[in-house]
Amino acid sequence: MSNIVTFGIMWIVASLLGEWGATAWINAAPHGTGTFWGSWSNLGVIGANAFDFLLWVAVPIFMFVVMFLIFAMVRFRVPKTETNPGDAKDQRRVNKAFIGIWIVASVLINILVWLHPNASGLEQVFAAQRVTKTEHPLIVDVVARQWEWIFSYPQYGITQAVNSAGQDVLYLPVNRPVKFILQSYDPFHTYDATINVMHSFWIPGFGVKQDVVPGETRTLVLTPTKITSTQQDPMVRVQCAEVCGPGHPYMEANVHVVSSSAFAKWAKAEAAAGN
């Protein structure tokens, strides 16, 4: 019994220190966005919160296993004075109560993780996708081709958004839902516009990505939550996350998250330029 009490105290202390360290890591992570590099969207926050919760749950489990191994090696080591320990009975003893508690605890922890953050987080993600017209979502048509992202804004008459250097660019207003309509085809292949391969629409700073499959139209709804840009944060960029050929590493585009007034001004200038 004394060994159980001693180990229990050590485990509790180690777990508390581990939880303190995990919390400090989350609060001191880059950009203050938890364990994710960036969470500049509502979907990114859901993912970061889920990972943080799993980290807090994993710390005491990890500490239990590690402390158990260390405690057993130190407390039950063979004394130096015993040169021929033989086959001690304690080396083969089975503790059925411990096995039962371990199995029940493992099942309960798995049920907990399945309910939260798995099921609860997915429900939040699904709810975010059910955007309504009253929320005035911005519609952005995204075409993925080898090896380019093409963005158009049908609500503003913009067929292909580009910057002053003629490069494709994605502008988004902060705190406004954005509905991306994702397709994979090559609009410049007049003989067969459906020719293309699978791509993956990924903005690392938003903490979310969506595969873009030829012959399918997929949607992704999210809300940017911070004014930023690729120049300020390299993680805020559109990057293909599916190997799509030799130009895959360079299939990216700059992103600008701006205020509502700045976006309206930009959209007006783009439409006037005939893009």
Instruction: Using DSSP bridges, classify how beta strands 252-258 and 169-173 pair: parallel, antiparallel or unpaired.
Output: parallel
The pLDDT score that the predictor gives to residue 84 is: 65
Question: Would you tell me which CATH number, out of the four given (2.30.29.30, 2.60.40.420, 4.10.780.10, 3.40.190.10), belongs to the domain 134-272?
Answer: 2.60.40.420
First to last CA, the chain: 77
Provide CATH 2.60.40.420 ranges for the chain.
Answer: 134-272
Burial (CB count <10 Å: 0-12, 13-18, 19+), residue 225: middle
User: 217 near 242, Cβ under 8 Å?
Assistant: no
What angle, 0 to 180 degrees and rounded to 10, lies between the N-to-C axes of helices 42-75 and 96-113? 170
Q: What is the pLDDT of residue 183?
A: 95
pLDDT given at position 92: 63
- Token readout for 169 is 């660019």
Return the structure tokens found at 64.
């239990």
10-residue stretch averages of pLDDT, the chain, 275 residues long: 88 94 79 65 90 92 93 81 63 79 94 93 92 92 95 95 94 97 87 78 93 94 95 94 93 97 95 80
> CA 211: distance to chain centroid?
14
pLDDT of residue 32: 47
Q: HEC profile for 197-266?
A: CCEEEEEHHHCEEEEECECCCEEEEECECCCEECCCCCCCEEEECCCCCCCHHHCEEEEEEECHHHHHHH
DSSP 41-81: BHHHHHHHHHHHHHHHHHHHHHHHHHHHHHHHHHHTPPPTT
The answer, as to whether pTM is greater than 0.95, is no
Around Cβ 135, how many Cβ atoms within 10 Å?
12
CB 40 within 8 A of CB 236: yes
